[in-house]
């Protein structure tokens, strides 16, 4: 027995074809939106690619761009089929390939759903990518004269000001690295010698942060150097004083930004998947209703349409049987080839 059997007359078939045609072109616009979101996501990642530990983070936006383009192509084709279904003489040329097209649509819908899941799950690897990338970027902050790293200072400063963050996990990360270039240090000064001499790696470490960590909303002038030295500043106690630098780490800030973007895209892709499933089912009804005309020579005769020709259980059993027969056929062919090779 067919699943979700519906009876159609001429008027219902025309209305169904027109509705599905409209939905297909709406789905084309949804594909453009997925493509645009993927492109926007890629551009946003490229802006801070120097702070990413690897290039694998671009896999998701590339996938979204590809899926968006394929969505546009599939739905444009489906819309053309629905439009021609209004004229049985034109629909004849599409009829042999509709079943294959519908199977392709089912597979594509599954891939769309997987893409949505990847958008939700990519937050986890992105967290580690940003942590390692920011750590390396902070180490290269001072290398303004080194080819390939000369823009790292600018990138980090702009990022900290834009996202109102400081350091990797927090502002104290800057205390653990030398972020001032040696060309701006007076090595004859006692303070510089003492700081370098007290460090195992010979780095000039200090309890200070770059200017981009300063919070412009603070009423007090920014205290970015000697932040843990209470005697260096008037009426200041770094244990109780409300610091006028950003307290949130940049990893958390970027993860929140990109994570929110990926969640939004994931919801969009889920909605597109639902729309794609709806138009696939609609085209199935259009196809079956035209294939079961009581009188093929009379377009106004009644017909039946269904989502599946058999029940879900019977359909699944048939698919498994076909897969098993294909497997057996492959084994027989391999056995025959082996026998021929033995004889020769």
Task: Note the pLDDT tens digit of each residue in 73-96.
Answer: 999 999 999 888 887 778 888 888
Copy the structure tokens of residue 147: 């080819």
pLDDT at position 112, please? 95
pLDDT of res. 76: 94
Residue 94's pLDDT is what?
Answer: 83
Q: Residue 37: which of 74, 69, 6 has the closest Cα?
A: 69
Distances (CA, A) of 135 to 58, 173, 252, 323: 20, 9, 13, 51
Residues 281, 106 contacting (CB under 8 angstroms): no
What's the DSSP call for residue 56?
A: G
- Both tokens of residue 20? 């599905």
Length of the chain: 344
SS3 73: helix
* Residue 187 pLDDT exceeds 70: yes
What are the structure tokens assigned to 198, written together? 């007290």
Average of per-residue pLDDT across 50-60: 76
Quick one: average pLDDT of 192-202?
A: 80
Beta bridge partners of 304: 7
For residue 43, what pLDDT band results from cuts at 50, 70 and 90? very high
Q: Report phi then psi at 332, rounded to 5.
A: -65, -45
Task: Give the whole-angstrom CA distance, residue 49 versus residue 56.
Answer: 11
So what's the pLDDT on residue 179?
92
Please say if the pLDDT value at position 6 is more than 80. Answer: no
CA-wise closest residue to 223 among 204, 205, 208, 237: 208
What's the pLDDT score for residue 151? 86
State how far the alpha carbon of 17 is from the alpha carbons of 39, 90, 302, in Å.
Answer: 33, 14, 15
Q: Hey, what are 218's tokens?
A: 């603070």
Q: Residue 241 and residue 54: Cα distance in Å, rounded?
A: 39
The token pair that represents 315 in the structure block? 């359909």
Predicted confidence at residue 68, as pLDDT, reads 96
| Whether the predicted pLDDT of 245 surpasses 60 | yes
Q: Of 145 and 179, which is predicted with more confidence?
A: 179
State residue 27's pLDDT score: 95
- Average pLDDT of span 240-264: 88
What gap in Å lies between CA 287 and CA 305, rounded to an integer?
8
| Under 8 Å between Cβ of 245 and 222 | yes
Pick from 6-15, 105-114, 216-225, 325-334: least confident: 325-334
What is the predicted pLDDT for the residue at 25?
A: 93
Burial (0-12, 13-18, 19+ Cβ within 10 Å), 299: middle
The pLDDT tens digits of the residues spanning 125-168 come to: 888 888 888 998 999 999 888 887 888 999 999 999 999 999 99
Give the Cα separation of 101 and 108 in Å (integer).
10
Choose the weakest-confidence range: 102-111, 123-132, 193-202. 193-202
pLDDT of res. 92: 81
What average pLDDT does the segment 206-226 reach?
89
How confident is residue 275, by pLDDT bands cut at 50, 70 and 90? very high
Any idea what DSSP says for residue 304?
E
**Percent of the chain at pLDDT above 90?**
41
Mean pLDDT for 296-313 is 70
d(CA 84, CA 103): 20
pLDDT at 195: 82
- Is pLDDT larger for residue 278 or for residue 342? 278
What is the chain's mean pLDDT, rounded? Answer: 84
Q: What is the pLDDT of residues 110-130, one digit of tens each?
A: 999 999 999 999 888 888 888
Which pair of structure tokens corresponds to residue 110? 């599954």
**Nearest 5°: phi and psi at 145?**
-105, 0
């Amino acid at each position: 027995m067919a699943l979700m059997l519906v009876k159609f007359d001429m008027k219902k078939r025309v209305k169904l074809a027109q509705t599905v045609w409209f939905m297909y072109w709406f789905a084309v616009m949804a594909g453009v939106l997925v493509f645009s979101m993927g492109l926007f996501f890629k551009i946003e990642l490229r802006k801070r690619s120097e702070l990413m530990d690897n290039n694998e983070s671009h896999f998701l936006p590339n996938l979204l761009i590809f899926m968006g383009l394929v969505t546009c192509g599939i739905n444009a084709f489906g819309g053309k089929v629905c439009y021609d279904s209004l004229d049985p003489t034109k629909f004849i040329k599409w009829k042999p390939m509709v079943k294959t097209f519908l199977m392709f649509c089912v597979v594509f819908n599954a891939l769309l759903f997987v893409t949505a899941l990847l958008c939700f799950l990519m937050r986890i690897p992105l967290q580690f990518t940003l942590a390692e990338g920011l750590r390396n970027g902070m180490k290269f902050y001072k290398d303004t004269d080194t080819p390939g790293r000369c823009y790292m200072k600018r990138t980090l400063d702009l990022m900290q000001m834009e996202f109102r963050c400081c350091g990797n996990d927090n502002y104290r990360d800057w205390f653990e690295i030398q972020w001032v270039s040696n060309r701006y240090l007076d090595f004859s000064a006692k303070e510089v010698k003492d700081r370098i001499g007290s460090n195992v790696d010979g780095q000039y470490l200090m309890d200070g942060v770059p200017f981009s960590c300063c919070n412009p909303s603070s009423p007090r002038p920014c205290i970015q150097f000697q932040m843990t030295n209470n005697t260096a500043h008037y009426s200041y106690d770094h244990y109780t004083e409300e610091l006028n630098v950003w307290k949130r780490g940049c990893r958390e800030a970027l993860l929140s930004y990109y994570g929110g973007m990926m969640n939004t895209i994931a919801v969009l892709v889920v909605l597109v998947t639902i729309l794609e499933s709806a138009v696939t089912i609609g085209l199935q009804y259009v196809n079956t209703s035209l294939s079961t005309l009581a009188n093929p020579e009379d377009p106004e005769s009644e017909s039946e349409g269904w989502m599946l020709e058999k029940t879900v259980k019977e359909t699944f059993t048939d698919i498994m049987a076909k897969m098993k027969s294909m497997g057996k056929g492959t084994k027989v062919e391999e056995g025959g080839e082996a026998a021929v090779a033995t004889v020769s």
